[in-house]
Amino acid sequence: MIHPAKLIKNAVCCCLLAIPTLFAQAQDDTGPDYEDILAGFDDPQRWLTYSGDYSGRRHSPLTQITPGNVQQLRPVWTFQTGTTTRGRGFETTPLVDDGVLYVTGSNNYAWAIDARTGRPFWSYRRNLPDDLTYGASAPVNRGFGMLGNRLFMVTLDAYLLAMDRRTGEILWERQLADYKVGYAATLAPLVIDGKVIVGISGGEYATRGFIEAYDPLSGERLWRFNTIPGPGEPGSETWPDDPEVLARGGGGTWMNGSFDPELNLIYWGVGNPNPDYYGELRPGDNLYSNSLVALDAESGALRWHYQFTPHDLNDWDSNHVPVLADIEWRGQPRRVVMVGNRNGFFYVLDRVSGELLLGEPFTATSWAREIGADGRPIVLNDGSDGCLPDPWGSTNFMPPSFYPGLDLFILNARETCATYVPEEPANAPGQANFGGVVFIDGEKGYGALRALDVHSGELIWEFTYPSPTFGGVTTTASGLVWAGDHEGNFMAFDAASGDNLWHYQTGSRIWGAAAMTFMLDGQQLVLIPSGTTLTAFALEPLR
């Protein structure tokens, strides 16, 4: 264990040595390597990647906090970010290694924080331009990627930064795209062997989405996968034969993907086609919008795809954490990927082949109630029969959790009622072009934490909230479910029954964030971001 004072001393030394890549290898000798990230939750004192491991299950093996003692849980410290997020949330998942938390905040703030006291070692703030586009409307960030002594963070002006984790100093930065057109970046980079994988935001602008891999040391770009095909490329037949339409086809990739190291495949969700609500100018299925894509990690080549919402008109991005699990399926072991989709359906796919195994609604959506034999939704209501789920969807990017053994997929569902009014947009660079407006009838909305049987999609239990929520879900192996709601409650539930066991009012809606947990000096800590605060909980005061 490194004493904080020693860390600071190291940091000072490194300040003098920073910048030249000559020293990069030596600096990277300490800190977690790829094998450590691959080991996932094996070391209970670490949380090294957005979901805790590559599977996206957000299921920690920790068991100190139980349904029997969670009532004694108390806040042990609160960290104030000093930066607000108008209209959105504090969406990050902190990483932790050696007692130090690495936390990104809104407006591209970031910190290294002592997990024992909540006091920062360093603070970082990116000097952002004042003419941000998408980044101004959603000035959020979901976390760091980490490798060795490096942290990786994306920015609202669409850069990827590599930082020295001991000092917060920038080692290199690479422009992902031109923010002035409408691009931004908000996700937590996914670090795999020799690569940092990132995606891009901006589907509400005339942009074209992509997923990219960068060399963690040099910052060199290794590959790019365009989510909207170029003219003549596979998938372009699902678009009009018009290069301009393809070039602004949308398909953002703004939420973290998952990784199967054995198959060497990356699974990533793709967002809405552009314009969001106005489909007249883009007849066709509009691949690979609203799809899950499986990419070869080495080359970025597309292995398979599944499109959840063909020709989307409702901004139902499929930017969800893909949840990987090896389960018994109809009597056979099967490697699956699961998605609770914004369109209101819960899906199970074979993650080797992309074959659809299950697609069942988890909300009262009238859009569709079943998936046809051809794998396409049977659309019953395109809006002409009233109420559709709102553009924020039946769930959203807030992480769900898979509880192995119970085989429950647990997510926060949103029941909403919206009317879409399409309108032909202007397509000016830097101007949002939703292609219409939406009216959401707030009186008819509510939220619910729902646990689905992954084998059938059947609702096993639910806990309802007064309003639709954006809070994420984490589970721990002691039989607990951790969730947040739009009224600001951070809550613990019995995973088997759904009974609420504990709650704490954080004072601000929990939006886009899910809890993370780790062991520190023999105590299990649980952290939740909310509003402008990061709060740590434990059963006893920290030593």
Partner 1 sequence: MQYSLSSSSRLCLLLNILLPALFVVAGLSIMASAATAQALAVNPLQGQSRAAYAGGVLFRAQCATCHGADARGIDSIDAPDLTQMWSQRDYSDARVFAIIRQGLPGTIMPPHGFTDTEIWMLVTYLRSVAVTGVRELPAGNVMRGRRLFADQCADCHRVGQFGGILGPNLSNILQRQSLTAITQAVRAPQLAVNPDFKTVDLITAEGRRLRGVLRNEDAFSVQMIDEGQRLQAFKKSELAELRFPDVSLMPAFANAQLSTGELADILNFIEFAHTESGQ
Active site residues: 317
- With CB under 8 A as the contact rule, which of the stretches 220-228, 397-405, 453-461, 463-471 interacts with partner 1? 463-471
Between the two ends of the chain, the Cα-to-Cα distance in Å is: 15
- With CB under 8 A as the contact rule, which of the stretches 218-226, 248-256, 288-296, 482-490 interacts with partner 1? 482-490
466: Cβ contacts below 8 Å, ≥ 6 apart? 446, 447, 487
Return the residues of window 242-301 that contact partner 1 according to CB under 8 A. 277-280, 283-285
Identify the residue among 64, 436, 477, 542 touching partner 1 (CB under 8 A). Answer: 436
> What are the angstrom distances between the C-alpha of 244 and each of 207, 231, 289, 344?
11, 10, 16, 31
**Exposed, middle or buried by CB within 10 Å (0-12, 13-18, 19+), for 224?**
exposed
Binding mask 360-399 for partner 1 (x = CB under 8 A): -------------------x--xxxxxx------------
What's the rounded Cα separation, in Å, for the pair 370 and 354?
A: 18
**Minimal distance in Å, beta carbon 420 to partner 1?**
6
Identify the residue among 440, 496, 519, 542 touching partner 1 (CB under 8 A). Answer: 440
| Token output for 462 | 């639910």
Cis omega (within 30 of 0) for bond into 466: no
**Minimal distance in Å, beta carbon 47 to partner 1?**
27
**Minimal distance in Å, beta carbon 171 to partner 1?**
44
Q: Is 438 in the site for partner 1 (CB under 8 A)?
A: yes
**Minimal distance in Å, beta carbon 437 to partner 1?**
5
Identify the residue among 288, 409, 463, 537 touching partner 1 (CB under 8 A). Answer: 463
Q: Is 491 in the site for partner 1 (CB under 8 A)?
A: yes
| Token output for 163 | 């930082």
What's the rounded Cα separation, in Å, for the pair 230 and 243?
A: 7
Using CB under 8 A as the binding criterion, the count of chain residues that bind partner 1 stands at 41
The DSSP element (H or E) to which 211 belongs, if any, is strand 210-214
3-state helix/strand/coil string of 320-363? CCCEEEEEEECCEEEEEEEEECCCCEEEEEECCCCCEEEEEECC
> What are the angstrom distances between the C-alpha of 400 and each of 51, 247, 411, 484?
10, 32, 5, 11
**Minimal distance in Å, beta carbon 505 to partner 1?**
8
What's the rounded Cα separation, in Å, for the pair 139 and 87?
A: 9
In the complex with partner 1, the residue whose CB is nearer, 261 or 466, is: 466
**Minimal distance in Å, beta carbon 491 to partner 1?**
8
**435, 424 Cβ separation under 8 angstroms:** yes
At 235, the amino acid letter reads: G
What's the rounded Cα separation, in Å, for the pair 312 and 274?
A: 9
In the complex with partner 1, the residue whose CB is nearer, 305 or 311, is: 311
The DSSP element (H or E) to which 433 belongs, if any, is none
Identify the residue among 441, 499, 521, 540 touching partner 1 (CB under 8 A). Answer: 441
Q: Is 505 in the site for partner 1 (CB under 8 A)?
A: yes
Nearest to 260 by CA among 60, 53, 400, 402: 53
Q: Using DSSP, state whether 484 is helix, strand or coil.
A: strand
**Minimal distance in Å, beta carbon 271 to partner 1?**
19
In the complex with partner 1, the residue whose CB is nearer, 6 or 444, is: 444
- With CB under 8 A as the contact rule, which of the stretches 27-35, 52-60, 87-95, 461-469 interacts with partner 1? 461-469
- With CB under 8 A as the contact rule, which of the stretches 3-11, 351-359, 399-407, 462-470 interacts with partner 1? 462-470
- With CB under 8 A as the contact rule, which of the stretches 80-88, 93-101, 183-191, 436-444 interacts with partner 1? 436-444
Binding mask 183-222 for partner 1 (x = CB under 8 A): ----------------------------------------
User: Locate tokens 């590559």: which residue?
Assistant: 54
Identify the residue among 485, 493, 501, 524 touching partner 1 (CB under 8 A). Answer: 485
In the complex with partner 1, the residue whose CB is nearer, 222 or 281, is: 281
- With CB under 8 A as the contact rule, which of the stretches 12-20, 172-180, 326-334, 486-494 interacts with partner 1? 486-494
> What are the angstrom distances between the C-alpha of 120 and each of 84, 142, 180, 377, 518?
18, 19, 33, 49, 18
Q: Which one-letter DSSP state was computed for residue 417? A: -
What's the rounded Cα separation, in Å, for the pair 75 and 509?
A: 17
Identify the residue among 134, 183, 465, 482 touching partner 1 (CB under 8 A). Answer: 465
- With CB under 8 A as the contact rule, which of the stretches 28-36, 167-175, 499-507, 530-538 interacts with partner 1? 499-507
**Minimal distance in Å, beta carbon 223 to partner 1?**
31
Farthest-apart Cα atoms in the chain, separation: 66
State the Cα angle at 299 between 250 and 142, rounded to 5°: 50
| Token output for 389 | 């789920």
**Minimal distance in Å, beta carbon 387 to partner 1?**
7
Q: Is 487 in the site for partner 1 (CB under 8 A)?
A: yes
In the complex with partner 1, the residue whose CB is nearer, 17 or 437, is: 437
Q: Is 437 in the site for partner 1 (CB under 8 A)?
A: yes
**205, 141 Cβ separation under 8 angstroms:** no
At 185, the amino acid letter reads: A
Q: Is 466 in the site for partner 1 (CB under 8 A)?
A: yes
State the Cα angle at 530 between 31 and 337, rounded to 5°: 65
Binding mask 21-60 for partner 1 (x = CB under 8 A): ----------------------------------------
**Minimal distance in Å, beta carbon 442 to partner 1?**
8
**Residues of the shown chain interacting with partner 1 in the complex, contacts defined by CB under 8 A:** 277-280, 283-285, 311, 313, 379, 382-387, 417, 419-423, 436-441, 443, 463-466, 485, 487-489, 491, 500, 503, 505
